[in-house]
Amino acid sequence: MTYASSIVAQAAERPRSGFVDGRGYHRLAMFACLLAFVVVVLGAYTRLSHAGLGCPDWPGCYGHLTVPDSEHAVSEKHYLAQRPLEPEKGWKEMVHRYFAGTLGLVILALAVWAWWRRRVTGQPVWLPTALLGLVVFQALLGMWTVTLQLKPVVVMAHLLGGMTTFVLLGLLAMRTWGSRAPVGPVARRWRGWALAALLVVVGQIALGGWTSSNYAALACPDFPTCQGSWLPDTDFGEAFVLWRGLGVNYEFGVLDHPARTAIHLTHRVGAVVTLLLVGWLAVRLWRDRAAGLQAQGALIGVLLLSQVGLGIANVVLHLPLVVAVAHNAVAALLLLSLVRLGYTLWQPRLS
């Protein structure tokens, strides 16, 4: 037997440790997480630039896989009866779809690869499988966003689905990183507070999606008062009706001003609750040297303050697009930072 054939034989007999494949899997998970973040930001940009109905059909645009450059180029003219062609808005929508479709293929690869490596110790299987199911549901929500003409409950669900996809991919990347650093009993006492902070941030993101999808972000054009008053005219009865039937075009909103004001004020109250709870947790983690979570506490604090600052800037600067998109991006990063904290706190306990 030659030297080369001996090496091949030894490699074939060697047990599958999964080291090389595991490293590649982790890199793919990291890439998918980054791509999901881009999709979230592009989705916010599409929504906030009023391009959510840039294409009246799905998954194409006016019956094409790309955006027609003129109405003359539209082969299926019935789409023009639904909405006049605006190529700039159409391209914003289609670029978002191209990236989302690519993300779906990457998640499919992660799921298939996970099942192929399912016998490798430490390989997550059900998490990438759940992600595959989630991205399919996200595609349906994307379709319904168009076919139901920006129905707020669908737009909000689509936003939450995108955020969930992003943080679960982040969690998958964490789980495939390799060795897990255990934490001591001092750090584990923050579990309940970390969970509460995570739930509050999720609720605030949902409120933000409801505010945006109902075009209520500028219902209060001043800060800290609203319309020059601490108690402006509001209509909470109409503000949170989730379903208003079919056949309604929700572009630019259908609510009257008092209902939009109620939504905006609720989002502001949620921001105060989030600032107090998550801010308190961040400070306590940063000061608790024994827990060893100072860096995570500092990161959460910085992201939280940035998010509050961006929210205020949206009001006083009258919702500039770059600030509004950044507000969505930092919300996603804050959510991921809290998921990372939870993942750390649920590590095996130090003996």
Phi-psi bin for 234: left (phi > 0), alpha (psi -120 to 50), beta? beta
Q: CA–CA separation, 64 vs 276, rounded Å?
A: 49
Run of H or E including 13: helix 3-13
Q: Which residues, 6+ apart, have CB-to-CB distance to 252 below 8 Å? A: 50, 215
Distance CA 54, CA 203 (A): 29
SS3 content of the chain, % helix, strand, coil (to 5): 70, 0, 30
List 71, 86, 88, 93, catalytic entry: 93
Q: Retrieve residue 277's tokens.
A: 């709870």
Burial class (CB in 10 A: 0-12, 13-18, 19+), 227: middle
Tokens of 46: 């599409």
Which token pair is 188?
């584990």
Q: Residues near 350 by Cβ (< 8 Å), separated by ≥ 6?
A: 182, 183, 184, 185
| E-state strands within the chain | none
Amino acid at 320: P
Is 238 among the residues known to form the active site?
no
Report the Cα 202 to chain-centroid distance in Å. 10
Active-site annotation, residues: 93
